[in-house]
Amino acid sequence: MKKIVGIADMEVCNDWKTGLITYSLGSCIGVAIYDPVAQVGGLLHYMLPESQIDPQKAQKNPFMFADTGIPLLFKEAYRFGAAKNRIIVKVAGGSQILDDTGFFNIGKRNYMALRKILWKNNILIKAEDIGGQVSRTVRLDLATGKVWLKYSGEVEKEL
C-alpha cells in the first residue's frame, strides 16, 4: 500500500507492507526517519523554517514548520516503538530559484532550521540531497527502510 504525505503533512507507520511517499518538494523539505529494529518509519513534508511567523497556523497545522513538525515526527515514531539511538534520518528538498539574493531563499532557510534542530538533539543525518533547482519526490519503503529519491523527469535512485 502507498500512503501519500501531502504538503505540510506527516505520516508515521509500522506496517511493513506500506510505502510512504511525498511529491513535488520545491523549497520544502522531506524528512524520512526509520528504525530498522522496530520497523517504524515516518515521513514529514514541511514548508517553512519557523512557526513564529504565524503561531496560529502552527497550532492548526504543526507540520507546516520545521520547528514544530520535526519534534512531532520523532515523538510519533517513539509512540510506535522506535528508539532514538536506532533511528536513521535521510532528508531531501530545499531547492532554490536562480539569481537568488536572499528574498526567496526559503530552501536554504529550511535546511538551516533542520540542521539546527537535529544538531541540538544530537541526531545525525545519514544521507541528504539538498538544494539545486530540481523538484523532488521522496519515497520510504517500510519493508527495507530504503529511501528512494526521484528528480522530476529522471529515474528514481536510492538516497
User: Any idea which residues carry the catalytic annotation?
Assistant: 28
Residue in the structure block whose three cell numbers are 529519491 = 149
Cβ 95 vs Cβ 149: under 8 Å: no
Q: How many residues bind another protein (CB under 8 A)?
A: 38
Residue in the structure block whose three cell numbers are 515514531 = 77
48 binds another protein (CB under 8 A): yes
Residue in the structure block whose three cell numbers are 539545486 = 132
For another protein, the closer of residues 101 and 122 by Cβ is: 101
Task: Give the closest residue to 10 by CA, choosing from 42, 37, 53.
Answer: 42
- Least separation in angstroms between residue 37's CB and another protein is 33
- For residue 34, the 8-state DSSP code is E
37 binds another protein (CB under 8 A): no
26 binds another protein (CB under 8 A): yes
Interacting residues toward another protein by CB under 8 A: 6-8, 24-28, 47-49, 53-54, 57, 60-61, 64, 95-107, 109, 132-135, 151-153
